[in-house]
Amino acid sequence: MRITVLTCVLLAAVASFVSAAPVREETTRRISYNEHRRDAPAPEVGWIELASATPASHGREFVMIGADAGAFTQLRITAASGRPEIHSVRVDYQDGSHKVFRVDRVLDARRRPAYLDLRGAHELKQLTVVTLRRSSGSYVVEGNTSDTSVASR
């Protein structure tokens, strides 16, 4: 009789554990592809992107601007990735004139961008950016519409 009572008590104890609802605890989490991506810095006032990230391996890139973009006082070339080497930038103005700016710099995300001072507000028609074909990385071209001056190179 003792064995029967012990068996019943044991079965009752086991049944209470088995019938209890398991705790649903998720041990995994969803991983976003953008989780470790750095957010792009907020654009500065007055700067407008004229050419998005362009590979330097193209050698020569033409950027069409147009008169409806407004007048620009400066251009800024920044490394978007890698270390693009920029040789020169030819700026064609809406009035038919042009100017070639010698840059001759390797751009890097940790260094200052290359600034080109247009010496006054000008409406641009086209930019021609000449890079070293074997340089790795990409660059971004921006134009400044404000009247603040930055030292040019």
The pLDDT score that the predictor gives to residue 3 is 77
Greater confidence (8 vs 120) lies with 120
Q: Domain boundaries in the chain?
A: 47-144
- pLDDT at residue 126, as a whole number: 95
Share of the chain above pLDDT 90, in %: 53
Q: Which CATH code, of 3.90.79.10, 1.10.357.10, 2.60.120.1380, 3.50.30.30, is assigned to 47-144?
A: 2.60.120.1380
E strand intervals along the chain: 47-55, 60-64, 71-82, 85-93, 98-106, 114-131, 137-144
Q: What is the pLDDT of residues 53-89, one digit of tens each?
A: 999 998 899 999 987 888 999 999 999 999 999 999 9
pLDDT confidence band for 6 (50 / 70 / 90): confident
* 5 DSSP 8-state letter: H
- The pTM score is 0.66
Task: Compute the CA torsion angle 96, 102, 108, 109 (nearest 10 deg).
Answer: -40
Task: Tell the residue number behind the tokens 């029967």, with chain if given.
Answer: 4
Cβ-based neighbour number of residue 80 at 10 Å: 18
CA angle at 150 for the pair 46 and 140, rounded to the nearest 5°: 60
User: Can you say how many angstroms the Cα of residue 15 is from the centroid of all Cα atoms in its chain?
Assistant: 60
Distance separating alpha carbons of residues 129 and 103, to the nearest angstrom: 10
Name the band, by pLDDT with cuts 50, 70 and 90, for residue 153: very low
